[in-house]
Amino acid sequence: MSARILPPTPEAIAEAVALLRAGLPVGIPTETVYGLAADASDGAAVARIFAAKGRPNDHPVIVHVAAGADLSRWAARIPDAARRLMDAFWPGPLTLVLPRAEGVLDAVTGGQDTVGLRCPSHPVAQALLAAFGGGLAAPSANRFGRVSPTTASHVADEFGDAVPLVLDGGPCEVGIESTIVDVSGEVPILLRPGHVSAMALSRVLGGAVLTRAQMDARRPVPRVSGSLSAHYAPRTPLRLAEPARLAGEIAAAAARGLSVGVWARRDPGGAACWLESPADPELYAQSLYATLRNLDGKGLDLLLFEQPPQDPAWMAIRDRLGRAAAGSGEG
Ligand code: TXA
Ligand code: MG
């Protein structure tokens, strides 16, 4: 049995609202990736999305809000840096971590004193939020540690009838998860790179935005291991290779009798399957997860992706590829 996928008609939106009010999860499109939404003020509903994902309960989840929503229900205060980022990038693919307001559920914050808020720009997400009239807790609609979904059918494939309804908003325009900035402390910290780049953030803030690794390096306490957590991972082992090494890696794998799927700018030859990767980082991000899912479904022994350029424009993509490779058991 598979979830029902409906085009986002007013009737489908009304049905989604009814399901959400009844505490059930709904798959929703956003401009980044599809989310698995629940009423953020209903602890049992939030617990259901965690259970469906197989995600540990102490992980915080992002609350999605309508454009112009009253944020005082979620955030204790809106620091100046947060206000500037909202004015510049909301609605859009940017999540802000803010001091939590009293009454925000521990199930949403993971018991922390902050809450992640995002105002998505996807018109179907906005229509649903407006009709629902509250905040929607929505992690990416994939099982824990797996590849995020960028189409409605990815969501239906992933959850089957555990999710009663998925609203179809078409393929996601951005394709990778939102940029996350922690603006709850003295300095803004980039927690997850995304489409809204570090450079765009610092332009608006009038100063550099530090990454968590840079923050940790400044502190006189021992650094938490920088190992990449298993995330965004295909089931087939994924390895990254510099362009000049692709052909050699394929030959080595072939010598071990392995069939290889390659995503690279040009066909290096010798692979069981080669797909051409886009030269433009935005197009690359848009097709990254669908390509991972596609190649993962081909029964190959190894996926070999060309390492993208070191340029800042590819920062978020390098982050996701690194995690996908680490999570697949390859490095
Ligand atoms: O683009 C996105 O952000 C998508 C779409 C559906 O909006 N959502 C998404 O949610 O990626 P999820 O749960 O897969 O990833 C959210 C990340 C998690 O790594 C979580 O730890 C972090 O955001 N997060 C949420 N609230 C936080 C908080 N208060 N402090 C620190 N990190 C937080
Ligand atoms: Mg996720």
The arithmetic mean of pLDDT across residues 246-272, rounded, is: 97
- How, if at all, do strands 4-6 and 165-167 pair? parallel
The confidence band for 225, taking pLDDT boundaries of 50, 70 and 90, is very low
Long-range CB contact pairs, 183-190, < 8 A, 24+: 183/79, 183/81, 183/82, 183/85, 183/96, 183/97, 183/98, 184/79, 184/97, 184/98, 184/99, 184/113, 184/114, 187/215, 188/81, 188/85, 189/215
| pLDDT above 70 as % of the chain | 95
Q: What is the mean pLDDT of residues 232-252?
A: 95
The alpha carbon dihedral of 230, 121, 63, 159 has a sign of negative
pLDDT at 25 over 80: yes
For residue 61 and ligand 1, the question of a CB distance below 6 A is answered with yes
Which atom of ligand 1 is closest in space to residue 118's alpha carbon?
A: 7
116 lines ligand 1 (CB under 6 A): yes
Atom of ligand 1 nearest to the CA of 177: 1
Tens digit of each residue's pLDDT (9 = 90 or more) over 163-184 = 999 999 999 999 999 999 999 9
Ligand 2 centroid to 258 CA: how many Å? Answer: 30
Per-residue confidence band for 223, with pLDDT thresholds at 50, 70 and 90: very low
Mean pLDDT of 151-167: 95
Average pLDDT across the chain, whole number: 94
| Mean pLDDT calculated for residue range 7-33 | 98
Residue 220 — pLDDT band, cuts 50, 70, 90? low
Each residue of 87-117: pLDDT tens digit? 999 999 999 999 999 999 999 999 999 999 9
User: pTM for the whole thing?
Assistant: 0.95
142-158 average pLDDT score: 95
User: What's the mean pLDDT in 119-136?
Assistant: 98
| Gap from CA of 269 to ligand 2 centroid (Å) | 34
Q: Does residue 228 register a pLDDT over 60? A: no
User: Does ligand 1 have an atom closer than 6 angstroms to the CB of 156?
Assistant: no
Counting ligands in written order, which one lies closest to the CA of residue 232? 2
User: Which ligand 1 atom sits closest to the C-alpha of 115?
Assistant: 29
Query: What pLDDT is attached to residue 331?
Result: 56
